[in-house]
Amino acid sequence: MSSPYPRYSWPEGRSSAFAFSVDVDAESPYLWGLPEGTPPLLGQMEQRLFGPRTGIWRLLDLLNRYGIKGSFFVPGLVAQNHPALLPAIAEAGHEIGLHGYFHEIVADTPTAEFVRALDASLALFKAQAGVVPRGFRSPAWEMTPEMLAELAARGLYDSSLMGFDHPYTIDGVTEVPVQWAVDDAIYFKFTGGGADRWHPAAQNGVLDAWLDEWTVLAREGGLLMLTVHDWISGRAGRIRMLERLLDAITATPGVWLATVGEIAAHHAASPNREHFVTRSQPPLPSAPRRFKAGH
């Protein structure tokens, strides 16, 4: 009756883990998806530029106040457009990871283009800040077996999938999983112009759900991977929400506050890498999916 998997093991007597990750999207997803012939509207651009102007600095200040090292996944274009960002993030001791160049959406991007985006970002990050990223987070959190193979060939970890709530190994790649339920964008992103599908969620309700998630993960030895965005959670009200979350997490006995890269390195060097191993299972169009009637 019990799970076929053991409890996940954390380093040196730690019993659970927390990672604070930032997807520094700024204007990149908007530009990627913009239809040809869009008029020169400023509304969403200004909303998103709030991130590099104000939001990212509030998040850096927040992490500094709590003594947490975060992991910042930055599209190449955002680093290129805002050259002060990477040096400031690196100087404060945080991790910098890959996040596509133009925030390429996976379903619309051939593997060869994905590879060029990866290599262009690596070159830019090296040139701008002397940084050699060790990990990748997919724009919009999608992935293919071919992309996993490219990460494996470069020795990069991945942080884009949701198959466990602690690290695991998929196709030989270390996966430090994310989860929609602890992402800020799905609750709070609102850009106007008629494209939104819901209003911003009541943030205290979201916070309560995040605290419940943490209560059980801390008890069962899991990882809470929080993900926030510069232009969304850099807004004033969300900073207050994050303070309340960090108050609770940093007060938890046994929690390991670590970057995504540190967690990936722990996984790859621990017995966990033998216990939590999967192969990717893309849906097969040739698989039978119906009983045909009358046969």
Q: Which is nearer to its own copies, 199 or 274 (CB)?
A: 199
- Shortest separation between residue 83's beta carbon and its own copies, angstroms: 11
Nearest-CA neighbor of 233 among 25, 19, 18, 65?
Answer: 25
The residues near 135 (Cβ < 8 Å, ≥ 6 apart) are 71, 95, 97, 98, 156, 157, 158, 159, 176, 260, 261, 264
Q: Between 126 and 142, whose beta carbon lies closer to its own copies?
A: 142
Residue 200's Cβ-side half-sphere holds a number of Cα atoms within 13 Å equal to 15
Q: Which is nearer to its own copies, 196 or 250 (CB)?
A: 196
Taking the complex as a whole, the smallest distance from the CB of residue 174 to its own copies amounts, in Å, to 14
Q: How far is the CB of 123 from its own copies (least distance, A)?
A: 12
Smallest gap, in angstroms, from Cβ of residue 165 to its own copies?
A: 6
Comparison of 37 and 253: residue with beta carbon closer to its own copies: 37
Nearer to its own copies among residue 126 and residue 240 (C-beta): 240
CB 8 within 8 A of CB 217: no
Question: Of 165, 251, 174, 237, which is closest to residue 206 (Cα–Cα)?
Answer: 237
Tell me how far, at minimum, the Cβ of 6 lies from its own copies, in Å: 12
Strand, coil or helix: 284:
coil
Measured from the CB atom, is 3 or 251 closer to its own copies? Answer: 3
> Residue 160 Cβ, how far from its own copies at the closest point, in Å?
8
Calpha distance 83→89 (Å, rounded): 11
Q: Which is nearer to its own copies, 12 or 36 (CB)?
A: 36
Token code pair at residue 204? 């205290």
d(CA 198, CA 215): 28
The least CB distance from residue 194 to its own copies, in Å, is 8
Taking CA 144 as the corner, what is the angle to CA 89 and CA 224, rounded to the nearest 5 degrees?
A: 45
| 262 alpha-carbon distance from chain centroid | 15
Distance between CA atoms of residues 214 and 217, nearest Å? 5
The packing angle between helices 203-220 and 236-250, to 10°, is: 20
